[in-house]
Amino acid sequence: MSVTILAIESSCDDTSAAIIRDGKVLSNLIATQKVHEQYGGVVPEMASRAHMQNIVPVVDVALQNAGVKKEEITAVAFTQAPGLIGSLMVGAGFAKAFAQARNLPLIAVHHMQAHVLAHFIEDPKPDFPFLCLTVSGGHTQIVLCKSPLELEVLGETVDDAAGEAFDKTAKMLGLPYPGGPLIDKNAQEGDPLRFKFPVTSMPGFNFSFSGIKTAVLNFLQQQKKTNPNFVEENIKDICASVQYTIITMLMNKLKKAAKELNIKQVGIAGGVSANSGLRKTLQEQGAELGWEVFIPKFEYCTDNAAMIGITAYYKYLDGEFADLSVTPSARASW
């Protein structure tokens, strides 16, 4: 019998639903909440309210796009952690109600695990062991994958995430939220070596991105003293230089981990893996190092329910189901 999973992702400001049949994505719908742009960041309460408005129509359209009827769903999956608690509760509440009403098994998924397993949505898929740099708005991790459900975090950020470094820099430059994609766009036409920012290194496989934020702030304040139009006149070079510094820090640790563990199957995941500079650098440096490089399709890099569905599929095969008493959690270790 085929396994048809309805997957829900609502950990931050995107409401997403996907239908996955036997490990294949039939539909993956993402409703992005525009309401946060004007505030320069996600407003948690507004995110919860928007999820509440979006969740039913998003699920309906995901079913329609997949050509699947509600009666054909065999399991329901949702993001249980980590994320904004109010946002997670909307997805969890919907999934629990759907599962209970139709008497279906429920599968609770860890958002960061799902970002890594986005690599297993489409071919080519990595072999094991596989090393994944997961870079999002809330996390920066180097993950060792021994099998789909055996993932080990080798190192992570001790302060800000890489995505936060992008978004906070963008805010200082007067760019709207989320700033990561706009830094990327500007950087494509800028000189990455024009301005120098410190490359911080932490012990082991850990990262730190709070230093770059302060360095950029001090640098901009200094420059604006002599030229009030400094940002407008140099935005492309500033973006390229900051992006280059962040990518260097990420690549340094990824190379160190690949070398020490002698792993040549290497990939990136999470929202920041949509960054064109990071994708290019990984391809180029990976080729020099003899790596087989894996980068998920763009729509599977940022938050999406397809990655929740593929993770749920592995859990389904493994018999890992959640009880109807399950509750979401803002923070969660693996």
Residues of this chain that bind ligand KG4 (CB under 6 A): 12, 136-138, 163, 166-167, 178-181, 183-184, 270-272, 274-275, 302-303
Which residues, in sequence order, are CB contacts of 90 under 8 Å at separation 6+? 10, 48, 51, 52, 55
Q: Which does 184 bind (CB under 5 to 8 A by kind): Zn ion, ligand KG4, none?
A: ligand KG4
By beta-carbon proximity to Zn ion, the closer residue of 11 and 234 is: 11
Q: Has 184 been labeled as part of a binding site?
A: yes
* 206 annotated ligand-binding residue: no
Residue nearest ligand KG4, CB atom distance: 271
Rounded Cα distance, 128 and 138, in Å = 26
111 annotated as a binding-site residue: yes
Q: What is the DSSP letter of 204?
A: T
Give the count of residues interacting with Zn ion (CB under 5 A). Answer: 2
Site for Zn ion in 293-322 (CB under 5 A): 303
134 is in an annotated binding site: yes
**Binding partner at 91 among Zn ion, ligand KG4, none, C-beta below 5 to 8 Å by kind:** none
Instruction: Give the nearest distance from C-beta 181 to ligand KG4 in angstroms.
Output: 4
Helix (H) or strand (E) run with residue 265 in it: strand 265-269
Tell whether residue 136 is a contact of Zn ion (CB under 5 A).
Answer: yes
* Contact (CB, 8 A) for 198 and 211: yes
DSSP class per residue in 57-111: HHHHHHHHHHT--GGG--EEEEEEESS-HHHHHHHHHHHHHHHHHHT--EEEEEH
Closest residue to bound Zn ion by CB: 136
For residues 254 to 293, the per-residue mask of contacts with Zn ion, x marking binding by CB under 5 A and - elsewhere, is: ----------------------------------------
CB 274: neighbour CB atoms within 10 A? 20
Distance of closest approach, residue 189 Cβ to ligand KG4, in angstroms? 15
Rounded to a whole number of angstroms, the minimum distance from the CB of residue 315 to Zn ion is 18
- What SS3 class is residue 35? helix
> Which residue stretch of 60-68, 79-87, 136-144, 153-161 sits at the interface with Zn ion (rule: CB under 5 A)?
136-144
Give the strands of the sheet with 24-32, arranged side by side: 24-32, 14-21, 4-9, 75-81, 106-110
Per CB under 5 A, residues contacting Zn ion are: 136, 303
